Structure 1
């Protein structure tokens, strides 16, 4: 950890002020405060440059030559970056304490560091609330809700999204309110409240259709398809997912197009349309090369391995080995359990033919744990909120 960040963090923990070696303690304190501000600004500015490499279509600065170099810096500085949020909040740098979590969001989500994401975003909620910055507070609550859903804290996620939607509504910001409702619907679905999820997602869709936000319409439609699948309304599920895929395609968003197609394929499979499943998965394979996030890549590969029932064991293994590697890159432990389970089944089928090989009694508890941990690849699409002032403030 950087010395200035460590020094200030130590002061926060122990409640003891730093002593100045200079005769003029006031001047020394002012110099220290200036140095701290400069350090926090450096981390904010450089993190913005690094995370821009994670976002397709976003112009990148010359600070990093490519994505690998940007990720290397972010990984190396992660402890400093997350500590800087708490230090900024405690030292009165409110803008930095609110902006830095937004900048870090894509990186922390990309790599599956959800505990860090929850910590820094919670700080942003508190700071924005104390400062009376309603827009920033609402955005932070929405982003916190998405992260809480990722770690299965569904009640907390619902509360966060509800608070975000209420704040956005009070400001008349219908687009951001629609994003918060979309996240709320997904949290409701994951908690088993499927009918409520449909209702909320339909409300969100109506909002986004009114303001003609195509990207958000597509995101809501994809989630609405998942809701309908849980309720076994498969025709509605197919229609919603296919419309979402077409909208994402019109925007050139191949990553989300691939996820929407996977959602459609699951609905088609459940409704007994194997030929259409095969055709849709072929489209997924064609566009999946453009997927950047390792978590998304893993989920798509695992979906193809599951949905393409005519794959040979060797072909299944090829998909799943790539998925396993992507899980490791993206720290996707939940998906990793599913990938390992499926990979073991594929290897068993390859060795024994159609009959699964007997599982040793010693390994049965491990297999049971993996099965309980594993879940179907996630294709929920929720949009984080980012104050447009973040990028100019951090520049």
Structure 2
């Protein structure tokens, strides 16, 4: 069997059985993109954009298919699909066509490289001397793989920059780790030899230089050690950065003072195997701010009671870039990583991210399962602080509006540092929380010139020094304004800087002139100038983006916003990105700086109201029809209300399957919640309650109960305004399910009673039956199973009277479960068998899986263990087909229980272990109970609760 290896730690290489496989240039690029997205599909149109930039012609899609075919044959000629072979898999069709590289990670050198470095670093961090020797071996093995720079064939391509920088940072980590281990073992000469090469490779790495100086000094090579410090300080100073630690070490060496032995400091075991890192990339063209960075860095690593840094300054002065650069400099001082969030405090649409929303985001990143997130904000904040208490992390809270937005996100222990950026001075944060303020002013003239020089390397600055001075003056030395002017100049190398300076000067005296001296006013003029250079389709899209309520937008949503086909909208978005009016922060999603959004809002406000309303109508149409299509994939038998036809020009998403539907919901989650609010604010009441209904399945499956409550409250208000009692009843029922799941049972019951009253007035038997099933679930949670049974029996009669077979099947299973809880297992069998007959005929696979599991539970308790096994296996097979992970784990546990009773402990344990793997991957609390039983030598005794309670209508499992 051929063994395939892909190496990216240098020029990309492919080996099969130790023999290098030749790749053409375009094959190497294509494979690089697929490796960067290993195991994840990359859309075909995205590959075309990445491989051909703006030069893709009409035949690019066909050319791509040809390249994919050649790459498949190159990677696995004649043996595609064999174990151990890389396979380029085709996923989806049409607009959703994508390609995925299916390759075990251990066949990629970068994966092995990272694993070895992580293991070596862990051994060092534990501070165990017996582990230092093993750490040197691991670091040595990792460094032997480095042929750098990584992805050398495509290192200059934008899509590879982030990963290249990350792998280079890992290489430096390995170099430092190897040296630390050697020094801890007393092998200073070997450390000095290795470090000499490392410093030559990474001359600006202060940590490597410091270790080299320590190793040389320990070997009594004092002059060499001092020279290493002196050269390093001089190099860093030339880059505008101070090196206080290196300077202090230099002084200590010159004085021949005794130094402590440099050994790794033990740290507590961490709860995550790798540092968390939500940081944007290190700004590659950052200039100046050396004194402020040094001051900020010293404050953040000082052993004080709290380390909160508040970075303030005018809009566009570069607060975010400063915070991100500072965060990257602190990476070695705060080894557990960084949490980053844009709080959108000064978003022109007023859609700031609340502290609680950011808190939920951080808990999600910290891998807290949805069902374990406390229902109150105080509880969530407490959970967040407890997770941070053993860690040394940096928390960057960007673009905060006020102190109240920030306070829930502050850690409770001194081990973590916090950097807050804001246009406001936030006096409450300074006075109450003791934050240290740093105010960023405008750049100096020298720094402004350096900023332009980093972006314009074609000789124009040297040839036209007077025009450079004019541009700096007109841009008021504001970093964002300078960056936009530089982007314009770089995009048009034939334009003279004199002409650009003249164009800026002519804007003075107009509404957007620079004369006022206010940086915001000056920046508006630069935005106006950049905006006028756009083609009309791009200018129109830029204006209308101000009406979109989300933090970012997909290409297809942007196409709907401007009523263009997606293929025509894509180059329009690309034009905005080239002009730096939008940024592609993640592949396929674009965001707009808040100042640019404010300017766009001014532009669109000058247009007629009917233009703005038509655009808003298109965007709510887009998300409503997309959400309805996605919800139909998640719950194909769930009764939905068909929305009215979308307006002309709307191109909604059409997920091909449930997996893509779930991914779309996850990507658009926050946008959808904001669209519901926006639709209500602008009078699109029918959209509000229909969109809220379409969101319910996703929000409940993910456990986003608070968001479900918010959107259903908007739905209730909209339904009342529109005089839609059926819609109001549905919103009452859906919000009741969320209240029930969060333990607010009186509120849940009140909403359900309101729903029943509305439905009785409408003589809606199906709606009443659905509401009674939810009310039954509330009664069960209250411990009143007899009342729960009564509600389900009434629901069953109503479904039958209405001829609603899907509801009848669901109610039969619910009644069967009620009897099981009451110990009446023969009744359970009778009802579930009838449910199965209907579910098979209707094609209700999820309902059938639930009924098989309930039926197996009843047979198990009746002593019919062979029958129970057949039922559980059927439930297991269906759950796997549906990708329903929790149901799969439940069926495995029940099957394991059954094997145990049948006297097959090996099969039982096999089932329980597989169930534990699933629950652990999900982060489900049931994993701990099952793990404890397995450790005690047995599995799980079935004591009720066959199912997972999922879905908006409470207890689909029943």
Query: TM-score scaled to structure 2, two decimals?
Result: 0.33
Structure 2 match to 1:101: 692
Q: Deviation of residue 66 (structure 1)? A: 4.4
Higher deviation after alignment, 253-262 or 36-45: 36-45
**Match in the other structure for 2:749:** 158
Match for residue 314 of structure 1?
910
Q: 1:207 to 1:150 in 2, by over 3 A?
A: same
Partner of 2:634: 54
1:341 is matched with 929
Match of 2:793 among 202, 211, 215: 202
Alpha-carbon distance change, 44 to 295 in structure 1, aligned in 2, over 3 angstroms: farther
Q: Which runs of 5+ in 2 are unaligned?
A: 1-341, 355-400, 402-597, 639-651
Corresponding residue for 2:809? 218
Structure number with bigger Rg: 2
Report the CA distance between 1:237 and its aligned residue. 2.4
Q: 1:290 offset after TM fit, Å?
A: 2.5
Residue in 2 that maps onto 1:125 = 716
- My pick for the range that moved more, 176-185 or 374-383, is 374-383
Q: Which of the residues 364, 378, 383 maps onto 2:947?
A: 378
Structure 2 equivalent of residue 44 of structure 1: 624
Deviation at 1:98, TM superposition (A): 0.9
Check conservation: 1:302, 1:323, Cα contact below 8 A. no
Structure 2 residue 675 is matched with structure 1 residue 84: yes
Q: Does structure 2 retain, via aligned residues, the 8 Å contact 1:182–1:201? A: yes
Is contact 1:40-1:88 (8 Å) kept? yes
Using the TM superposition, name which of 34-43 and 249-258 deviates more.
34-43
Whether the 8 Å contact between 1:317 and 1:347 is mirrored in structure 2 is no
Q: Which has the higher contact order (CA 8 A, sep 6+)?
A: 1
* Structure 2 Cα separation of the partners of residues 138 and 57 of structure 1: 20
1:137 corresponds to which of 728, 736, 750: 728
C-alpha separation in 2, matches of 1:337 and 1:379: 13
* Alignment counterpart, residue 878 of structure 2, candidates 287, 296, 302: 287
8 Å contact 2:776–2:788 — kept in the other structure? yes
Counterpart in the other structure of 1:362: none
Shift of 1:99: 1.1
Identify if the C-alpha distance between structure 1 residues 378 and 162 changes in structure 2 by more than 3 Å, giving closer, same or farther: farther
Tell me: CA distance 1:172–1:155, structure 2 relative to 1, closer, same or farther (3 Å): same
Paired with 1:312 and 1:112, the residues of 2 have a C-alpha distance of: 31
Match of 2:664 in 1: 73
**1:71-122: CA deviations, max 9, x gaps?**
3332222111111112221222211111111111222223332222222112
Q: Which has the higher strand share?
A: 2
Structure-2 change in CA distance of 1:301 and 1:344 (3 Å): same
Q: 1:146 to 1:299 in 2, by over 3 A?
A: farther
Alpha-carbon offset, residue 219 of structure 1: 1.0
The structure whose residues are more often helix, as a share, is 1
Residues 375 and 123 (structure 1), Cα distance of their counterparts in 2 relative to 1, 3 Å cut: farther
Deviation at 1:176, TM superposition (A): 1.6
Structure 1 counterpart SS, 2:713: helix
Unaligned runs of 5+ in 1: 329-335, 357-373, 386-395
User: Residue 32 and residue 148 in structure 1: after superposition, are their counterparts in 2 closer, same or farther (change >3 A)?
Assistant: same
State the distance in 1 between where 2:754 and 2:951 align: 16
Three-state SS of the structure 2 residue aligned to 1:192 is coil
Contact 1:86 1:120 survives alignment (8 Å): yes
Q: Compute the TM-score of the two structures, normalised by the length of structure 1.
A: 0.75
User: What residue number does 2:119 align with?
Assistant: none
In structure 2, relative to structure 1, the CA distance for the partners of 1:190 and 1:303 (3 Å cut) is farther
Q: Is 117-126 or 28-37 further displaced after alignment?
A: 28-37
User: How far did 1:323 drift?
Assistant: 4.3
Describe the SS at the equivalent of 1:312. Answer: helix
Aligned to 1:255: 846
Residue 148 of structure 1 and its aligned partner are, at CA, apart by 2.8
Seen in structure 2, the aligned counterparts of structure 1 residues 281 and 191 have a Cα distance that, compared at 3 Å, is same
Go from structure 1 to structure 2 and tell me whether the alpha carbon gap of 1:89 and 1:316 turns closer, same or farther (over 3 Å shift).
same
Distance 1:64 1:297 in 2: 24
Deviations 1:183-210 (A, max 9, x none): 1112211211111111111111111222
Kindly report structure 1 stretches of 4+ aligned residues shifted beyond 6 Å: none
Mapped partners of 2:620, 2:744: distance in 1: 31
How many residue pairs are counted as aligned between the two chains? 348
Residue 157 of structure 1: how far off its partner (Å): 2.3
Q: Is the Cα contact below 8 Å between 2:692 and 2:715 reproduced in 1?
A: yes
Distance change >3 Å, CA 341–CA 231, structure 1 → 2: same
Map 1:172-183 to 2 at 5 A: 172-183=763-774
Closer, same or farther in 2 for the Cα pair 1:49/1:270, shift >3 Å? same
Mapped to 1, the partners of 2:658 and 2:871 lie a distance apart of 30
Task: Kindly state the Cα deviation for residue 259 of structure 1 after the two structures are TM-superposed.
Answer: 0.8
